[in-house]
Amino acid sequence: MVAAVRVHKTGGPEVLTYEDVSVPAPGQGQIKVKNHASGVNFIDTYFRMGMYPSPVGLPFVSGNEGAGEVIAVGPGVTDLKAGDRVAYVATLGAYAAERLLPADRAVKLPDKIGYEQAAAMMLKGMTAQYLLRRTFKVEKGNNVLIHAAAGGVGLIACQWANHLGANVIGTVGSKEKAELAKKNGAHHVILYRDEDFVAKVKEITGGKLCDVVYDGVGKATFPASLDCIRPLGMFVSFGSASGQVEAFNINILQTKGSLFATRPTLNHYAAKREDLVRTANDLFDVVASGAVKIPVNQKYPLKDAQKAHRDLEGRNTTGSSILVP
Ligand SMILES: NC(=O)c1ccc[n+]([C@@H]2O[C@H](COP(=O)([O-])OP(=O)(O)OC[C@H]3O[C@@H](n4cnc5c(N)ncnc54)[C@H](OP(=O)(O)O)[C@@H]3O)[C@@H](O)[C@H]2O)c1
């Protein structure tokens, strides 16, 4: 038996139950991983509250990201062996001391990247990668707006967009977060709880507006985010930290400037093994180069998963949070 955090019925942070579970031997194509750290992500709260249905039903082990050591491999696994250092993004099962995982969802960790750093960056960093390099390919001189700039995805995306030569504008919920976002690549920071962020974007860009808006906040920033985008620019709605964007009339994209809008998820961008490996390697490279640093700003024992969720949903975290068994 190993320690894990399970959800037996969906709900608030109190449904995260720290208990022992048994992990069988790996089956065909699976590996067993001894987790050294698990990442905490907003998506974990969506599964916990039932906004995203669990693909394995109830109960389920929470968590979608982790890093650790392979301790057993199942039949048919040829490219990994016991002792390999790996990291992964995989739906559910990461808040546990040990877990099974399809081998083709794991990537080998470069020596320079530690387990805790890896658990803090796989989901958030690969998301930043596809958002900035594929959904809208950020280029030098682009005006880029990143909401929740001091968050997990936010701090990585700000650094990376800055590295690509963009003019990075970030929104944040407090002065402390503003300082942090500025230290991590944001050229301009807007306190969107106090300031009109559309007016500020107009002022900062001299009326040109943004080539792209990356919006993981959702309900609270929609539709104002559209007013920050230049004609033919791109609205990327990639999350719902404040609630989901409600149904809207698609004609709004025409009236706001023939805008493009997309609602992407890493699941699709990394569905093929070659895309997963390419995305992870691009992230490893940018981290190894020093251009993007991974701030592990909250570290909790696995048994304190409830607190980790309360802090994340209460807007009391910055950068990445991890759980350690
Ligand atoms: N589509 C994908 O592939 C993908 C992958 C990873 C993450 N995501 C999404 O990206 C977003 C960020 O994820 P993350 O794990 O890095 O979280 P995070 O940004 O560290 O935390 C969420 C942040 O959102 C802001 N926020 C604004 N309104 C909020 C509200 N009502 N309640 C809570 N937070 C609010 C807060 O920052 P301020 O205090 O500064 O406002 C908070 O710190 C989430 O929406 C997540 O679902 C999407």
For 226-284, how does the pLDDT look when each residue is reduced to its tens digit (9 = 90+)? 999 999 999 999 999 999 999 999 999 999 999 999 999 999 999 999 999 999 999 99
What is the model's pLDDT at position 91? Answer: 85
Where do we find the tokens 């301009």?
188
Sheet with 229-237, side-by-side order of all strands:
188-191, 167-172, 143-146, 210-215, 229-237, 260-262
pLDDT (average), residues 112-122: 97
Beta carbon of 242 within 6 Å of any ligand 1 atom: yes
How does pLDDT run across 298-319, given as a tens digit for each residue?
999 999 999 999 999 999 999 9
Average pLDDT, the chain: 98
How does pLDDT run across 181-236, given as a tens digit for each residue?
999 999 999 999 999 999 999 999 999 999 999 999 999 999 999 999 999 999 99
DSSP H helix total and E strand total for the chain: 10, 16
Q: Nearest C-alpha to atom 3 of ligand 1 is from which residue?
A: 265
Distance 41 CA to ligand 1 centre (A): 8
Instruction: Provide CB contacts within 8 A for 75, sequence distance 6+.
Output: 27, 28, 29
Single-letter amino acid, residue 185: G
Q: Nearest C-alpha to atom 8 of ligand 1 is from which residue?
A: 239
In angstroms, rounded to a whole number, what is the distance separating the alpha carbons of residues 70 and 74?
11
Counting from 1 in the atom list of ligand 1, the atom nearest the Cα of 312 is: 21
How does pLDDT run across 12-31, given as a tens digit for each residue?
999 999 999 999 999 999 99
Question: Where does the pLDDT of residue 50 fall: very low under 50, low under 70, confident under 90, or very high at 90 and above?
Answer: very high
pLDDT (average), residues 153-174: 98
Beta carbon of 67 within 6 Å of any ligand 1 atom: no
What is the model's pLDDT at position 127? Answer: 98
Question: Where does the pLDDT of residue 37 fall: very low under 50, low under 70, confident under 90, or very high at 90 and above?
Answer: very high
Counting from 1 in the atom list of ligand 1, the atom nearest the Cα of 171 is: 40
Tell me the whole-structure pTM to 2 decimals: 0.98
- Among 306, 297, 302, 304, smallest CA distance to 68 is for 302
Question: Where does the pLDDT of residue 95 fall: very low under 50, low under 70, confident under 90, or very high at 90 and above?
Answer: very high
In angstroms, rounded to a whole number, what is the distance separating the alpha carbons of residues 95 and 109?
19
Beta carbon of 161 within 6 Å of any ligand 1 atom: no
How does pLDDT run across 70-86, given as a tens digit for each residue?
999 999 999 999 999 99
Beta carbon of 173 within 6 Å of any ligand 1 atom: yes
